[in-house]
Amino acid sequence: MSDDDWRQRLSRIEIPISVSSNQFVKSCLDKLIKTGRLSKNDGINLMLEPSLVSVTSLANMVKLARHSDNVFYNRNLHINTTNICTLACRFCAFRKGPKHDDAYEMMPNEYIERISPVASEIDEVHSVGGLHPDWKVEHYAKIYSTIKNEFPHIHIKSLTAIEIIHISKRSGISIAKTLEILNESGLDSIPGGGAEILVDSVRDRICRGKESSNEYLEVHATAHKLGIPTNCTMLFGTVESTEERIQHLIRLRNQQDTTSGFQCFVPYPYLPDFSRLPEAQLATSSEVVRMIAVSRLMLDNIPHIKAYRMNLGDHLSAICLNAGADDIDGTVGHEEIMHDAGSTTRLDTSEAELVRLIMSSNSTPIRRNSTYDHFIEVESDFNGLRINLPVNSW
């Protein structure tokens, strides 16, 4: 859908009273219809606007204008390459030192063993991990080519920006060359992990030694130039300010203006269990919903906003589907990074249950492929799982 299309649709949507009665939020609607773009100050004021329902209602209008009542998901499996990491980000509960009892390294054959039982039920493998001290580009190329040889139908979405930088340094080759080799061996797209907050003073406090904000954006820009689509993320609720969250969104928006390769934005709050950030402010549920809404309103050039249920949980994710999010995690099956940090989201959610969750938010479930160019509308295929309470006469 072109820029003009969604703005025209937005102008035709009935305006809820929560928007029409709020002078500032209504002015944002007018601006979006007219230009499609809100300013940094608009973003900050949306974060501070007392009426959460006005902000989420406007975001829902934009979501409906862009995607109607469709909500997208895919059938995927998460596999982490290794939890051994040479860095020690303060918000991370996943990484282990190489000698830790729980440290592990996944070999290509172990990927096949993990994928085989569910190969016919998934379309994507999502794989990220720590910065292994020894592995070079050949190790990752072997993993991807092994998966592709065995399961050519599976899309491989893998590696965060910092992993790509680490692999390129270990291998003594450029970022572009690293991506070319990995792409040829089967890497199809890149998830957005590692963005945290794209403000270097914040990064210095929560993940010193990780890539700079410019480096994160450069890795994604390089991927986009090579035709490799990527996602982008935001970890909020650590030590950043409201303004820094908006600055993060604007940096992503500026990048997208130039390279256009971001498919989906995935904001998620910091989970504090077993990590080392006692000064983190944490984010309430209302703040999470608002962050989803403001992301939808500010990122006019990024098509999809995801409710990352591995972090948010199913209940809060379902609410986000009426506050600007149009995408939700897939079947996932296995996840460590958020669960090590305290997530209690179920990992055995079936596709039928996912469909039910989407329908319960008054949305139409659409199974998508990883590059958002193949869609199947899923019928009420939830195996008798009830969506609504029965209505009795009394």
| Least distance (Å) between residue 131 CB and ligand SF4 | 5
Selection from 194, 76, 172, 83 nearest residue 126 by Cα: 76
> Secondary structure of 60-109 in the HEC alphabet?
HHHHHHHHCCEEEECCEEECCCECECCCCCCCCCCCECCCCCCCCECCHH
Q: How far apart are CA 167 and CA 139, in angstroms?
A: 10
Counting contacts by CB under 6 A, is residue 85 touching ligand SF4? yes
**Which residue type occupies 21?**
S
Number of residues that bind ligand SF4 (CB under 6 A): 12
Options 81-89, 177-185, 278-286, 351-359: segment touching ligand SF4 (CB under 6 A): 81-89
Decide: 189 and 370 in contact? Cβ < 8 Å.
yes
Q: How many residues in the chain?
A: 394
Tokens of 344: 């209690």
Site for ligand SF4, residues 139 to 178, rule: CB under 6 A: 162
Counting contacts by CB under 6 A, is residue 277 touching ligand SF4? no
Could you tell me which residues are beta bridge partners of residue 368?
375
Helix then strand then coil, % of the chain, to nearest 5: 45, 15, 40
| Least distance (Å) between residue 196 CB and ligand SF4 | 8
Per the listing, tokens 């109607």 go with 68
Options 87-95, 211-219, 299-307, 318-326: segment touching ligand SF4 (CB under 6 A): 87-95
Instruction: Give the residue with the Cβ less far from ligand SF4, 130 or 365.
Output: 130
Binding mask 102-131 for ligand SF4 (x = CB under 6 A): ----------------------------xx
| Least distance (Å) between residue 46 CB and ligand SF4 | 29
Counting contacts by CB under 6 A, is residue 203 touching ligand SF4? no
Q: How far is CA 223 from CA 77, 183, 228, 239, in A?
A: 23, 10, 5, 29
Contact residue for ligand SF4 among 55, 58, 92, 228 (CB under 6 A): 92
| Least distance (Å) between residue 262 CB and ligand SF4 | 20
Contact residue for ligand SF4 among 94, 262, 268, 382 (CB under 6 A): 94
Tokens of 292: 């989803």
| Least distance (Å) between residue 250 CB and ligand SF4 | 24
* CA 287 to mean position of chain CA atoms: 17
Options 52-60, 82-90, 245-253, 327-335: segment touching ligand SF4 (CB under 6 A): 82-90
Options 89-97, 172-180, 247-255, 350-358: segment touching ligand SF4 (CB under 6 A): 89-97
CB atoms under 10 Å from CB of 66, counted, come to 21
Options 83-91, 106-114, 244-252, 308-316: segment touching ligand SF4 (CB under 6 A): 83-91
Per the listing, tokens 């990220």 go with 128
Options 80-88, 106-114, 248-256, 260-268: segment touching ligand SF4 (CB under 6 A): 80-88
Q: How far apart are CA 191 and CA 182, in angstroms?
A: 14
Reading phi first (left if > 0) and then psi (alpha if -120 to 50, else beta), residue 383 is in left
Q: Which residues are near ligand SF4 by CB under 6 A?
A: 85, 87-89, 92, 94-95, 130-131, 162, 207, 210
